[in-house]
Structure 1
Amino acid sequence: MSDPILLVEDDNAIAAVIVSALEGEGYRVDRCAAIAQRDRLLDAQHYAAMLTDVVLEDGDGIASLARVREQHPHMPIIILSAQNTLDTAVRASENEAFEYFPKPFDLDELIRAVRQAAGASSGAGSEGQGDEGNLPLVGRSQAMQGVFRMITRVLRNDLTVLVLGESGTGKELVAEAIHQLGSRKTGPFVAVNAAAIPRELIESELFGHEKGAFTGAVGQSIGKFEQANGGTLFLDEIGDMPLDAQTRLLRALQSGRIRRVGGRQDVAVDVRIIAATNRDLAPMIASGKFREDLYYRLNVVPIELPPLRARRDDIGALTRHFLSLAEDEGLPRRQIDEQAIGLLEKQPWRGNVRELRNLIYRLALLARNDVIDAELAREVLGKEQSLSTSERSSSVDRAMLDWIDEHHPAPGSLYRAASAAFEKPLFEHALRATAGNQLRAAELLGINRNTLRKRLGELGIVAEAFSTRA
């Protein structure tokens, strides 16, 4: 291979591993540890690709790429970094890095990327700095690095994104990050929760309506699609959308045009679609509860968010981030000691990041001094884990109020939307406890089997998915 690879890395151990691996693939590798050395090597030699760390002996490996891009506009650049934040991934993307690898990385993946880069050419880049203070996602764990990398790959295009993950993992934050950092950041960001809108109103909510289209339509109303024109439309809980609305949504996505309810003319809209769900859509497709063609239209770029239990290394950073947010919102300034962090890292966090945030706000309020210690954390966590019957009832009350605050059901739909939201996990619990046996689940719930089957269909719950044979 005529042109060597340039490695800019100041960690001798990491450099030795990379050099050995690449030389084992037949590449010649020049290695340096500083920006000044890098520039001298680039002036003297043409390289097939460059691998560079971010934090180097004499500066920032990304910030200094402007000169490299000017003189070597077609050389692919692979960025390696232990600064595993979304900001770093975005900066790498803004400088048109061929690939970005957070440390520790998979050596086989790195070799594949070098192999591809060595035969590729990259366009001229532009220097850019991300504003980490405004980024909504926090985390340096390995589990989050794939998320960051996928986000950066969709910033320069309008591909439809489907965000998957449990409730409370931050799906809307991913959508906000893609909008905030992407090419549509000057346009509106409009979010709509399909689970919080009554079935008979969802088409009007999405597409708008004309005066007199139905009882109560006293004037023209602009829907979410038109409100998001030129920007991003975030469709949360897409798995809860009724089939008739799915059909109209598919038509809008295919044509780029919508028609208001009661209208006679189509309206052109230019929106980027980001959808999200905490449900497994595959069994819903199999049972006819979700359109397969709509799924493929939405699932162009899937981004799966890990639950908090799969990224416990991030709990310390998230905790400090939430303490900072709590201070911004008027709570006392607090710090937290490492023993308290250790206790938090051992919790199950069934409510994921949202549950952690609520607990941190509570600790910030209850702390008797500037430092939240393990004693207070143990006390509050103990109360959470040993609720009495009356406390559990008040906990349910708080959960319902939190749900209302988060979803903002439309006027006149509060009872139906809240009932559906809280009925669904109850039915799922019964099916899980009976391994999907509908007769036993109905007996457990104390309702008629036909009533159970009817409500399962209306809620989009597939009983077979809970079977031990599934």
Structure 2
Amino acid sequence: MTETRTILVADDDRAIRTVLTQALSRAGYAVRATSSAATLWRWVEEGLGDLVVTDVIMPDENGLDLVPRIRRVRPDLRVVVMSAQSTFVTAVKAAQRGAFEYLPKPFDLKELLAVVARALAAPAVIVQENAETDGEKLPLIGRSPAMQDIYRTVARLTTTDLTVMITGESGTGKELVSRALHDYGRRRAGPFIAINMAAIPRELIESELFGHERGAFTGALARGVGRFEQAAGGTLFLDEIGDMPPEAQTRLLRVLQEGEFTTVGGRNPIKANVRIVAATHRDLRQAIRQGLFREDLFYRLNVVPIRLPPLRERAEDISLLARHFLERAKASGLPGKQLDETAVDRLRQHSWPGNARELENLMRRLAALYPQEVIGADAVHAELMDAENQIDEGRSGPETLEQAVERHLSGFVAAQRDGLPVRDLYERVLAEVERPLLRLALAATRGNQIKAAAMLGLNRNTLRKKIRELDLPVVRGLP
């Protein structure tokens, strides 16, 4: 008969303890639950339990502080950390202190049970404790499920030197993620060197990357140190790797294969002591099919892929990001501003083609140009429309509605192609089209629902129902 495994649960919330105890018991585990870190520690010292599931915040001690102590006295005892403080730093601390997994609250019970099963089945590996992280520094911001997944992935990678490929649209924060991998990783004491392939003339890329010897080419009057040497002991960030010319791709592949390189015009090999993080907004698989990017180099770089979601896929993070950018604007000398709820609602309705970078630029404009301390929807709307008009004026021809919809949906298509499940897309698209359509109709008729219904070709009662379902404010004037 198989011995029942025992789970030690620690959480100061009685309701959570009850829910976890019931779920784990139904799954066939024995459970001991407590609200005290001291009691949990006593159980661990007594040799009880096969797995620990602990909250971070408890009355007598921080749960994260227990993890390394547990690892020292019982290195084979896995620890799963739960936290409502679902920030990047929390995820990094959990990973670096030796937690098996980090679960941001709220989480699905099925996810917890899956993590518990993996933890109990995992082979014994001693995770070494790393240095403390700065608890005040938040390089990545967001509480959406998509960002929580990125936090956990990056946290795990900080204890390795694996090559990482970051993909995502422009403005999604690819360099921020690469900096986080460096600043919280094993090579944090070394340099972080970034190079943008799209910003360097093709004929100079090899020299920029690998350096050159005196006389290697016209104008090479002295030896030049390349980025690989500059980044020795640290991290080399290859941004816009999809723009690397073929000849440089070949040399980079050789470096990744052999772990060494030669300067342009040089003969003596130099050991490549760097961690490589690459990034691109391009579809490299399409570039491979077109013969523009080497397939073997792609697989060398794509050891651990991280896809950054566009801002339109993480709308729940917009208010948090907006407040952060306003604080940053204030710290740089601009007037301090706040957003009211109507402004936040208007931000969530925007498609954000420029992603977080576009949002930050908008917050800086609002801080600089508007005298009121509390910014409302009218100011946000005016700035967004002005920016869109400037973009439209720069286009060679007007974009049709079909083109706009297709451009907007390209992110969902890419996500599905990359293996990330996309759900209820039909309803989501209809909701995104329906909301601005009704808002514009109500604005055009100054809130007159009878006229708006006639304009839309809807029954008045149907329009009222839609307004309630979409929680639309009936505003006169600006939509």
TM over 0.5: yes
CA distance in structure 2 between the aligned counterparts of 1:325 and 1:317, rounded to whole angstroms: 12
Secondary structure (helix, strand or coil) at the match of 1:55 reads: coil
Structure 2 equivalent of residue 308 of structure 1: 311
Secondary structure (helix, strand or coil) at the match of 1:192 reads: strand
CA distance in structure 1 between the aligned counterparts of 2:205 and 2:321, rounded to whole angstroms: 35
Deviation of the 1:18 alpha carbon: 2.7
Matched, 1:332 2:335: yes
Deviation of the 1:350 alpha carbon: 0.5
Deviation of the 1:50 alpha carbon: 0.3
Matched, 1:188 2:191: yes
Asked whether the equivalents of residues 164 and 303 of structure 1 are also in contact (C-alpha less than 8 Å), the reply is yes
Secondary structure (helix, strand or coil) at the match of 2:136 reads: helix
Q: Percent identity?
A: 49
Q: Deviations over 1:114-150 (max 9, x none)?
A: 1232244353664864324333211111110111111
Question: Which segment drifts farther, 290-299 or 277-286?
Answer: 277-286
Q: How does 1:10-49 map to 2 (within 5 A)?
A: 10-44=12-46, 46-49=48-51
Question: Which segment drifts farther, 114-123 or 213-222?
Answer: 114-123
Structure 2 equivalent of residue 455 of structure 1: none
Deviation of the 1:171 alpha carbon: 0.4
Structure 1 equivalent of residue 264 of structure 2: 261
CA distance in structure 1 between the aligned counterparts of 2:179 and 2:231, rounded to whole angstroms: 13
Q: CA, structure 1 residues 351+39, in 2 after alignment: closer, same or farther (shift >3 Å)?
A: same
Deviation of the 1:222 alpha carbon: 0.7
Structure 2 equivalent of residue 365 of structure 1: 368
CA distance in structure 1 between the aligned counterparts of 2:191 and 2:390, rounded to whole angstroms: 43
Q: RMSD between aligned alpha carbons? A: 2.4
CA distance in structure 2 between the aligned counterparts of 1:242 and 1:92, rounded to whole angstroms: 40
Question: Which segment drifts farther, 332-341 or 222-231?
Answer: 332-341
Matched, 1:82 2:97: no
State the number of aligned residues: 398
Q: How does 1:230-245 map to 2 (within 5 A)?
A: 230-245=233-248
Question: Which segment drifts farther, 368-377 or 133-142?
Answer: 368-377
Structure 2 equivalent of residue 442 of structure 1: none
Q: CA, structure 1 residues 343+291, in 2 after alignment: closer, same or farther (shift >3 Å)?
A: same
Structure 2 equivalent of residue 113 of structure 1: 115
Q: CA, structure 1 residues 315+132, in 2 after alignment: closer, same or farther (shift >3 Å)?
A: farther
Q: CA, structure 1 residues 227+388, in 2 after alignment: closer, same or farther (shift >3 Å)?
A: closer
2:250 to 236, 247, 250: 247
Asked whether the equivalents of residues 144 and 314 of structure 2 are also in contact (C-alpha less than 8 Å), the reply is yes
Q: Deviations over 1:335-358 (max 9, x none)?
A: 222322221111110000000010
Question: Which segment drifts farther, 117-126 or 236-245?
Answer: 117-126
Q: CA, structure 1 residues 7+122, in 2 after alignment: closer, same or farther (shift >3 Å)?
A: farther
* Highest RCO, 1 vs 2 (Cα 8 Å, sep ≥ 6): 1
1:262 partner amino acid:
G
1:175 partner amino acid:
S
1:191 partner amino acid:
A
CA distance in structure 1 between the aligned counterparts of 2:256 and 2:129, rounded to whole angstroms: 32
Structure 2 equivalent of residue 93 of structure 1: 95
Structure 2 equivalent of residue 136 of structure 1: 139
Structure 1 equivalent of residue 278 of structure 2: 275
Asked whether the equivalents of residues 74 and 124 of structure 1 are also in contact (C-alpha less than 8 Å), the reply is no
Q: TM-score, normalised by structure 1?
A: 0.79
Q: Runs of 5+ in structure 1 lacking a partner?
A: 397-425, 434-470
Matched, 1:156 2:159: yes
Q: CA, structure 1 residues 269+370, in 2 after alignment: closer, same or farther (shift >3 Å)?
A: same
Question: Which segment drifts farther, 331-340 or 220-229?
Answer: 331-340
Matched, 1:63 2:65: yes
Asked whether the equivalents of residues 49 and 117 of structure 1 are also in contact (C-alpha less than 8 Å), the reply is yes
Structure 1 equivalent of residue 431 of structure 2: none
Q: Runs of 5+ in structure 2 lacking a partner?
A: 404-479
Secondary structure (helix, strand or coil) at the match of 1:333 reads: coil
2:149 to 146, 152, 164: 146
Asked whether the equivalents of residues 73 and 125 of structure 1 are also in contact (C-alpha less than 8 Å), the reply is no
Asked whether the equivalents of residues 236 and 277 of structure 2 are also in contact (C-alpha less than 8 Å), the reply is yes
Deviation of the 1:112 alpha carbon: 2.5
CA distance in structure 1 between the aligned counterparts of 2:128 and 2:264, rounded to whole angstroms: 46
Matched, 1:224 2:188: no
Matched, 1:317 2:320: yes
Asked whether the equivalents of residues 22 and 28 of structure 1 are also in contact (C-alpha less than 8 Å), the reply is yes
Q: Deviations over 1:398-433 (max 9, x none)?
A: xxxxxxxxxxxxxxxxxxxxxxxxxxxx89x99x97
Asked whether the equivalents of residues 54 and 79 of structure 1 are also in contact (C-alpha less than 8 Å), the reply is yes
Q: TM-score, normalised by structure 2?
A: 0.78
Q: Deviations over 1:27-65 (max 9, x none)?
A: 111111232332343344511000011122444221344
Deviation of the 1:199 alpha carbon: 1.3
Deviation of the 1:9 alpha carbon: 2.2
Matched, 1:104 2:124: no
